[in-house]
Amino acid sequence: MEKSLITNYLDQNKDRLLNELIDLLKIPSISADSKYKPDVMKTAEAVKQRLIEAGADKVELCTTKGNPVVYAEKIIDQKKPTVIVYGHYDVQPADPIELWDSPPFEPIIKKTAAHPDGAIFARGACDDKGQMYMHVKAFEFMMKSNTLPCNVKFMIEGEEEVGSPSLGPWIIENKNRLKGDIILISDTSIIANDTPSIDAGLRGLAYMEVEVTGPNRDLHSGVYGGAVANPINILCKMIADCHDENNHITIPGFYDDVMELSKEERAEMAKAPFDLNDFKKDLGIAEERGEKDFSTNERTGIRPTLDVNGIWGGYTGEGAKTVLPSKASAKISMRLVPNQGSHKISELFQKHFEKTAPKSVKVKVTAHHGGEPVVVSTESIGFKAASKAMQETYGKKPIPTRGGGSIPIVALFKKELGLDSILFGFGLDSDALHSPNEHYGLFNYYKGIETIPLFYKYFSEQSGK
């Protein structure tokens, strides 16, 4: 019954639902760059307005040390279960801007191979404005059709892309109003539009910055070269030495806490469809590469990694300048898996870098944000409700997967609120999140709005409240 109601609703409101998302995508809510603070505020305000219009109560912009959290709720009956929706209205920076085929904050609809019905191209289209807004619209539908079966609370933050520094303290201060039964998040992906999946885990993160200093000033590379340590050469070698010939990470103790999967669990994971040729073609690579004895899905799902995100030093301008630089730096991130801890891994990394640096240079290691990995039980009521909802709208049972990305706040929801999260994502890995030409399929957007009310229905039915 719900299905036909929602199908009609989508048919009748198709253009409006899309245009509202387009308007949100026009505001450059980049949290990493303080220049965009007014736009971040404007986006928070817009999300607040949309929640009011959709029928939420107690809608509030909660101030924090950083960007505000948009809070809203609809309590229909204290005795009924409560779904807490989490999402983020901030987006990644758009650069390198010259690699976009259309301006990142002027959304346009184009067809792609993965999205024959069209996709909306804009920064934040998939991550996470498009996915977050599906929840606002699904809520609007349930309000208008009088089918909201339980209570709902919204918590939409504006700092996810910079590590959620204010949300942790905010949830601790707001424990009382964050009483609920489950956290529902659409900020991950499915395998393909005809292959639904639900993440049963996410990786954690330890993000480091390293600075290597050699001589006390930049030197003439002819006059001094050969006799003085070049910090760029040294840093490159130190980074290269972090992996052995099997692409194992060499930092002592790095794998100590890694949860190994049983043969059976790995066999289960291997059932998820994956086409290596498509993968290579999509990325323009001749060969995949990663830790020996693990499949591509395992390498991005259940194994930890170490990657350089940026490296700089010396002369990078036009032409050639012969210089032996004084300093070299790099930003290095490590993706973590259950049961690795981000603080412990940061410390192991720091010790390793300080120890492996030759006496000819000084190293300074600092830790940026981090986050803990999570696992979601596929046997929980929430996971089963999500699975049933997707099965109904996709006509196929979703496959449990492991997401390679991180949403650090999820571990804190568990620790501080005692609540499990359901990673109910509808995007595709190939939607170019964080990259130029980010997009979100129209199919995915509408499918999300169609599927979310069914989660509420099945979760409420099964929660026994």
Which residues bind to ligand BES, rule: CB under 6 A? 127-128, 160-161, 163, 187-189, 202, 205, 369, 371, 403, 405-408, 433
User: Residue 101 contacts by C-beta under 8 Å, 6 or more apart in sequence?
Assistant: 121, 436, 437
Cβ of residue 434: shortest distance to Mn ion, in angstroms? Answer: 6
Cβ of residue 245: shortest distance to ligand BES, in angstroms? Answer: 28
Ranges assigned E (strand) in 148-203: 151-157, 182-185, 189-190, 197-202
The answer to the question of residue 438 lying near Mn ion (CB under 5 A) is no
Q: Which option in ligand BES, Mn ion, none does residue 39 bind, with CB closer than 5 to 8 A by kind?
A: none
**Closer CB to ligand BES, residue 250 or residue 309?**
309
Place of tokens 């870098």: 353
Cβ of residue 84: shortest distance to ligand BES, in angstroms? Answer: 18
Residue nearest to ligand BES (CB): 405
Query: Measuring CA to CA, which residue among 221, 56, 72, 219 is closest to residue 140?
Result: 56
Contacts with Mn ion by CB under 5 A: the residue count is 3
Q: Which option in ligand BES, Mn ion, none does residue 364 bind, with CB closer than 5 to 8 A by kind?
A: none
DSSP string, 237-290: HHHHTTB-TTS-B-STTTTTTPPPPPHHHHHHHTTS---HHHHHHHHT-SS---
Cβ of residue 214: shortest distance to Mn ion, in angstroms? Answer: 35
User: Cα(83)–Cα(86) distance, rounded to whole angstroms?
Assistant: 10
Torsion of CA 447, 93, 95, 20, to 10 degrees: 40
The helix (run of H) or strand (run of E) holding residue 120 is strand 119-121
Cβ of residue 132: shortest distance to Mn ion, in angstroms? Answer: 9
Report the first-to-last Cα separation within the chain, whole angstroms. 22
HSE toward the beta carbon, residue 389, CA cutoff 13 A: 28
| Two structure tokens written together for 449 | 């709005």
Q: Which option in Mn ion, ligand BES, none does residue 188 bind, with CB closer than 5 to 8 A by kind?
A: ligand BES
**Closer CB to ligand BES, residue 208 or residue 212?**
208
User: Cα(374)–Cα(407) distance, rounded to whole angstroms?
Assistant: 9
**Closer CB to Mn ion, residue 73 or residue 187?**
187
- The DSSP code for 398 is P
Cβ of residue 346: shortest distance to Mn ion, in angstroms? Answer: 21
Cβ of residue 405: shortest distance to Mn ion, in angstroms? Answer: 7
Cβ of residue 447: shortest distance to ligand BES, in angstroms? Answer: 17
Query: Measuring CA to CA, which residue among 186, 440, 444, 204 is closest to residue 303?
Result: 204
Q: Which of residues 176-195 bind Mn ion (CB under 5 A)?
A: 187
**Closer CB to ligand BES, residue 411 or residue 442?**
411
Q: Which option in ligand BES, Mn ion, none does residue 389 bind, with CB closer than 5 to 8 A by kind?
A: none
**Closer CB to ligand BES, residue 238 or residue 433?**
433
Cβ of residue 213: shortest distance to ligand BES, in angstroms? Answer: 28
**In angstroms, what CA-CA distances link 127 with 110, 118, 423?**
18, 17, 13
Q: Which option in ligand BES, Mn ion, none does residue 334 bind, with CB closer than 5 to 8 A by kind?
A: none
**Closer CB to Mn ion, residue 127 or residue 157?**
127
Q: Which option in Mn ion, ligand BES, none does residue 163 bind, with CB closer than 5 to 8 A by kind?
A: ligand BES
**Closer CB to ligand BES, residue 424 or residue 458?**
424
User: Cα(15)–Cα(169) distance, rounded to whole angstroms?
Assistant: 39
Pairing verdict, β 151-157 and 69-74: antiparallel
Q: Which option in ligand BES, Mn ion, none does residue 179 bind, with CB closer than 5 to 8 A by kind?
A: none
User: Cα(198)–Cα(188) distance, rounded to whole angstroms?
Assistant: 9
User: Residue 240 contacts by C-beta under 8 Å, 6 or more apart in sequence?
Assistant: none
DSSP string, 401-454: EEESS--THHHHIIIII---EEE---EEGGG-TTSTT-EEEHHHHHHHHHHHHH
Q: Which of residues 110-129 bind Mn ion (CB under 5 A)?
A: 127-128
**Closer CB to ligand BES, residue 280 or residue 368?**
368
Q: Are 383 and 459 in contact, with CB atoms under 8 Å apart?
A: no
User: Cα(150)–Cα(452) distance, rounded to whole angstroms?
Assistant: 13
Cβ of residue 151: shortest distance to ligand BES, in angstroms? Answer: 26
**Closer CB to ligand BES, residue 27 or residue 200?**
200
User: Cα(344)–Cα(351) distance, rounded to whole angstroms?
Assistant: 11
**Closer CB to Mn ion, residue 68 or residue 130?**
130
**Closer CB to Mn ion, residue 159 or residue 420?**
159
Cβ of residue 331: shortest distance to ligand BES, in angstroms? Answer: 12
Q: Which of residues 241-270 bind Mn ion (CB under 5 A)?
A: none
Interface residues with Mn ion (CB under 5 A) are 127-128, 187
